[in-house]
Chain A
Amino acid sequence: MKKEFDKSITRALKNENLAGILDRWNYPAMRAKAYEEIDFEELRTKIADIKGRAAGHLDELAEKFKKAAEARGAKVFRANSPAAVKDYIASLCRGKGIKKIVKSKSMASEEIHLNKHLAKLGIQSDETDLGEWIVQLAHQTPSHMVMPALHLTKEEISELFSQETGKRESSDIQKLVKVARREIREKFFEADMGMSGANIAIAETGTLVICTNEGNARLVSTLPKTHVVIVGLEKLVENYTDAAPILAALPRSATSQLITSYVSFITGVTPNDDGSMKDLHIILMDNKRTEMAGDPKFKEALQCIRCASCLNVCPVYRLVGGHVFGHIYTGGIGTILTAWFNELNKTEDIQGLCIGCGKCKEICPGKIDIPDLVLEIRRRLATENGLPFIQKSALSIINNRRLFHTMLRAASIAQKPFVKEGMIRHLPMFMSELAEHRSLPAIAAVPFRDLFKKIKQPKGRVRAAFFASCAIDFIFPQIGEAVIKVLNKAGIEIVFPEGQSCCGIPHWGSGAFDLAADAAARNIKTLLEDDVQYVVTACASCATALKKEYTHILKEEKRDSLIPDAEKLAAKTFLFSELVQKLIEEKRLIPKADLKSGTITYHDSCHAKRHCGVYKEPRAALASCGYELKEMFECDNCCGMGGSFTVKQPELSMCMLKRKVENIKNTGAECAGVECPGCLIQIGGGLDKMGSKIKVKHIAELLVDKFR
Chain B
Amino acid sequence: MFNTFKTKTEVAGSEVHRFGTKSKALDFIVEFMKKEGIADAPGFYAVWADCSFLKGVDAKALANKIPGLKFEVTRQLAKDCRIGITQMDWGIAETGTLVQDATAVEQRLASALSWIHIALVATDKILADMPSVMTKIHPNQCGYIAMISSPSKTADIERVLAIGVHGPERLVIICVDELGGMN
Contact = CB atoms under 8 A, between A and B. Distances in A.
B95 A259 contact: yes
Given A149-B157, A154-B157, A213-B150, 4 more contacts: A177-B162, A214-B154, A214-B166, A244-B131
Contact of B145 (A181, A248, A265, A273): A265
Interface in A173-213: 173-174, 176-178, 180-181, 184-185, 188-189, 202, 205-207, 213
Contacts of B24: none
Contact of B105 (A72, A264, A272): A272
B113, B150, B162 pick with most chain A CB within 10 angstroms: B162
A267 B138 CA distance: 10
Interface in B153-183: 153-160, 162, 164-168
Contact of B143 (A72, A178, A223): A72
Nearest to A267: B139
Contacts, number: 170
B144 A21 contact: no
B50 interface: no
Contacts of B151: 261
Interface stretch (A123-131, A446-454, A574-582): A123-131
B169 to A, nearest CB: 9
Contacts of B143: 72, 266-270
Interface string B87-123: 0000000111100001111101100110000000000
Contact of A189 (B79, B106, B134, B166): B79
Nearest to A17: B158
Contacts of B157: 130, 134, 149, 152, 154, 157, 173, 176-177
A255 interface: yes
A258 B166 contact: no
Question: Ordered nearest first, which 8 A-B pairs have the shortest CB separation?
Answer: A215-B167, A131-B156, A265-B145, A214-B165, A263-B147, A267-B139, A177-B162, A205-B139
A129 B155 CA distance: 11
Interface string B37-71: 00000000000000000000000000000000000
Nearest to B131: A244
Contacts of A130: 154, 156-157, 165
Nearest to B148: A262
B1 interface: no
A241 B160 CA distance: 33
Nearest to A274: B75
A142 B157 CA distance: 13
A583 interface: no
Interface of B: 8, 12, 74-75, 79, 94-97, 102-106, 108-109, 112-113, 130-131, 134, 138-140, 142-160, 162, 164-168
Contacts of A504: none
B135 to A, nearest CB: 9
A63 to B, nearest CB: 18
A267 B144 contact: yes
A662 B150 CA distance: 39
B171 to A, nearest CB: 9
Contact of B154 (A177, A202, A223, A247): A177
Interface size for chain A: under 10, 10 to 19, 20 to 34, or 35 or more residues? 35 or more
A274 B160 CA distance: 38
Contacts of B144: 221, 264-267, 270
Contact of A258 (B94, B103, B148, B160): B94
Interface of A: 21-22, 24-25, 37, 72, 128-131, 134, 147-150, 152-154, 157, 173-174, 176-178, 180-181, 184-185, 188-189, 202, 205-207, 213-216, 218-219, 221-223, 240-241, 243-244, 247-248, 255, 257-274
Contacts of A134: 156-157
Contacts of B149: 258-263
Nearest to B78: A273
Contacts of A273: 74-75, 105-106, 109
A153 B74 contact: no
A177 B164 CA distance: 8
21 contacts: A147-B155, A154-B158, A157-B157, A173-B160, A174-B162, A177-B162, A181-B164, A184-B166, A215-B167, A219-B112, A222-B108, A258-B8, A261-B151, A262-B167, A263-B97, A264-B146, A265-B144, A267-B142, A267-B145, A273-B74, A273-B106
A107 B167 CA distance: 22
Given A72-B143, A177-B154, A262-B146, A150 B159 contact: yes
